[in-house]
């Protein structure tokens, strides 16, 4: 079974305080769904080098044991509650992808 990943890139964030409120709900929902945060940059002090059209704003990478578990975690009641708290002032490019191994 191949792993599943949530990949989020945040090109714009004009409401960091409300994004923190979303994070407080999303974190437990992700953990309950079996997700493991692999990267949360640069907000956790990690380094970023952006090439080509890349941006240095927040990037989040979360791993799940399978693609199906990644989708189920997104569709879970707990994560949907977190999404309801996602601020309008934040632009996010979010996708769920399947690993190759």
Which CATH number is 4-98 given? 3.30.70.100
| Tens place of pLDDT per residue across the chain (101 aa) | 899 999 999 888 888 888 888 999 999 999 999 999 999 887 666 788 889 887 788 889 999 999 999 999 999 999 999 999 998 889 999 999 999 98
Count of Cβ atoms closer than 10 Å to residue 40 Cβ? 17
Q: Tell me the C-alpha distance between 8 and 67, whole Å.
A: 16
Q: Tell me the C-alpha distance between 71 and 57, whole Å.
A: 25
> Where do the domains of the chain lie?
4-98
pTM, rounded to two decimals: 0.90
């Amino acid at each position: 079974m191949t792993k599943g990943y949530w990949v989020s890139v945040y090109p714009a964030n004009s409401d960091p305080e409300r994004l923190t409120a979303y994070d407080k709900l999303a974190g437990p929902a992700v953990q309950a769904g079996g997700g493991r945060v692999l990267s949360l940059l640069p907000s956790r002090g990690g380094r970023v080098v952006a090439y080509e059209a890349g941006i240095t704003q927040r990037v989040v990478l979360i791993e799940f044991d399978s693609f199906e578990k990644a989708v189920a975690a997104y569709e879970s009641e707990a994560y949907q509650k977190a999404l309801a708290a996602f601020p309008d002032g934040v632009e996010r490019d979010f996708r769920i992808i399947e690993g190759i191994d």
